[in-house]
Amino acid sequence: MTHARFTTLAVSGSYDHAEAARHLGSLSEPAHLATAQSFPSMEAMLAATAEDGDGWVYARRGNPTVRLLEQTVAALEGYRVDAEVSAALTATGMGAITLATMPLLSAAAGPKPNIVASPQCYGSTTMVFDKRYGEERDVDVRWVGDPLSVEDWAGLVDDGTRFLYAEVPSNPTVQLVDIPALAALARQARIPLIVDATLATPALLRPLALGADVVVHSLTKAAGASGRSMGGAVIARHGLGLRGQPEELSADYAGHLRRGSLRDMGAVLSPFNAWTILADIRELRGRVDTMSRTAHGVAEYLARHPGVVEVFYPGLESHRSHHIARRDMWLVDSELDGGEAENRFGFLVCFRPAGGVRAAHEVMDRLGLVWRANNLGQVRSTATIPGATTHKQAADADPARAPVPPDMVRLSIGIEHLDDIVGDLDQALRGR
């Protein structure tokens, strides 16, 4: 299936006719819900334990259903990437971020480690970097002043820098960074550029194709849009050639994590969750296309509304990183549909209603169709106030560096009709 189109890879992954024949012809991937495998002989057991065979031994070390999703995620994120790509799956998106970053911070790898990162990222990511790494492990966390300035990034990189980190687009301000330029900076320093591309999904943006080394995703979001399961993914190109890191880690980063850190620390993905996400991810392109087109319409409506003072959406010319979004965010394979390639800018729209925090709370309370919830990327549209919920910990820890305005409403647009979403927002903003 290596030459198949994106949607075909999403539907089929590595589950082909031969694989189905090994499972009594099941048209759907089987859910291997057992925690361990039985072996026909001691020789087979030893081979699997030594990872010389295809056995999975014990669910913490691997599972056939999890591996099917792993291969599918790697194929989608590695689509049209001129490199070998592999993936490791975790129980949550934050598990993926921790798995992707922690092994790079070994004290044995050289000078005191530091991280150079965009401050425009998810609140829990900020807490992991500042608290778990900075305060608890004495890692120097260097937040970039202006994530759009490559010079600002370069000025913070030195011999102790272990990786560059950015979220594209960011949650919730939907900012982008110049991935190719940061990738060149990372290559020069022989460190990885790690990109959280959860809000784009590989249907709209594949950072590996733009030069990034490692990509992380929360599969809980648009990949698992039914909202039934949590999961995370680390996807990396092979042959990174990292300074001060073990050769086996550079050779196959995700595989090394899967065989070492993930196995030992145990934050593995449940096979049941893998099975449900496999069902959701089949329709990723079409679903994200619909959600993005609707989100663009919502953003344009909000930008015209007299009761809204600011809108955050990369598809609007007023957005600070619109020029990068126009360059990098494309509906995958849209040029094959009989026309030119088409931009899509994602499903997250944020806005500030006139009247401050109190008005934002009142708008939230008047929502009818849109659900008040702290998740995003679902088939149902959801809304929250990040400064009081998803980013509250980060804001409380450092009020001077609050990541989002306290009156910002975050909308995650689902697959409902645009007219109905706009109608709900209109009545919520007008108060009737």
The one-character DSSP state at 16 is -
3-state class (DSSP) for residue 200: coil
- CATH superfamily placement of domain 284-430: Aspartate Aminotransferase, domain 1 (3.90.1150.10)
CATH architecture designation of domain 6-281: 3-Layer(aba) Sandwich (3.40)
Amino acid present at 306: P
pTM for this prediction: 0.95
Domain boundaries, the chain: 6-281, 284-430
Task: Specify the pLDDT at position 107.
Answer: 79
**pLDDT, tens only, 351-396:** 999 999 999 999 999 999 999 999 999 999 999 999 888 666 666 6
**pLDDT, tens only, 399-409:** 566 568 999 99
User: How crowded is residue 12: how many other Cβ atoms within 10 Å of its Cβ?
Assistant: 17
Q: How far lies 30's CA from each of 194, 273, 276, 281, 289, in Å?
A: 32, 12, 11, 16, 28
Would you say residue 52 has pLDDT above 60?
no
**pLDDT, tens only, 226-256:** 999 999 999 999 999 999 999 999 999 999 9
Question: What mean pLDDT, rounded, does the chain reach?
Answer: 93
Q: At 336, list the tokens.
A: 């094959």
CB burial of residue 50 (10 Å; 0-12, 13-18, 19+): exposed
Least confident of 40-54, 231-245, 271-285: 40-54
What length is written for the chain? 432
**pLDDT, tens only, 138-183:** 999 999 999 999 999 999 999 999 999 999 999 999 999 999 999 9
Amino acid present at 179: I
